[in-house]
């Protein structure tokens, strides 16, 4: 069975796990409103893909 010869330091362990952090949200420009919004989401006015889907 594989056993480590030395204890892994906190810095070594944390630098190895550093890639698991936050990812950048997928934000795109909406030409109908002229604002940025997340992809596959309804905008603040209730429009989605150029259609009114939610009445305000």
Q: Is residue 13 part of a domain?
A: no
pTM, full prediction: 0.48
Q: What is the pLDDT of residue 17?
A: 80
pLDDT truncated to tens, each residue of the chain (56 aa)?
899 999 999 999 888 887 777 788 889 898 888 889 898 999 888 888 888 999 87
Q: Using the structure block, give the residue that is written with the tokens 């209730």.
A: 46
Neighbouring-strand partners of residue 50: none
Q: What angle do CA 19, 39, 44 make, to 5 degrees?
A: 125
The whole domain housing 34 covers 25-56
Q: How many helices (H) and strands (E) does the chain have?
A: 1, 4
**Structural contact between residues 27 and 36, judged by C-beta atoms closer than 8 angstroms:** yes
Q: What is the pLDDT of residue 22?
A: 77
Q: Is residue 44 part of a domain?
A: yes
Domain count, the chain: 1
Q: Is residue 46 part of a domain?
A: yes
């Amino acid at each position: 069975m594989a056993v480590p010869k030395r204890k892994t330091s906190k810095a070594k362990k944390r630098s190895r796990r550093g890639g698991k952090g936050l990812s950048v949200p997928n934000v795109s420009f909406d030409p109908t409103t002229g604002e940025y919004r997340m992809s596959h989401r309804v905008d603040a006015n209730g429009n989605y893909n150029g259609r009114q889907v939610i009445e305000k």
